[in-house]
Amino acid sequence: MKVIRTILQNCGACGGHQPVMFKLDRPITPLLMETLRSLGFIESAHFTKAGILYFDTPNLNITGPIGSDKLTLKCKGPSDCETILNDFENLLTKIV
């Protein structure tokens, strides 16, 4: 999967981390969501029922409309956001 990263406008409520958008070369599908679940990402099922991907980790929130090709990522806490984003981007590029 190919990923293009874009830094979004600063968010005062984002704990000092700027939200980032990942544009994918294919849409968000149930298969991608299942893959993330199997890798330990925590899904918020009530969002899924509404057509929204919402996954949570201790250091990262991942959101996006199911069927679109965009994910919005927000780092949480005092973590090394750049490393977390790089690791997630590398993970996405390995998903077929």
pLDDT tens profile 11-33? 555 555 678 999 999 999 999 99
Q: What is the pLDDT of residues 67-83, one digit of tens each?
A: 999 999 999 877 788 99
**71: closest CA among 83, 58, 55?**
55
User: Which CA distances in Å does 54 have to 32, 34?
Assistant: 12, 12
Length of the chain: 96
In this predicted structure, the answer to whether residue 36 has a pLDDT above a threshold of 90 is yes
* Range of lowest pLDDT (8-22, 58-72, 82-96): 8-22
Q: What is the CATH number of the domain that holds 10?
A: 3.30.310
Domain span at 40: 3-94
Number of folded domains that form the chain: 1
Single pTM value for the model: 0.84
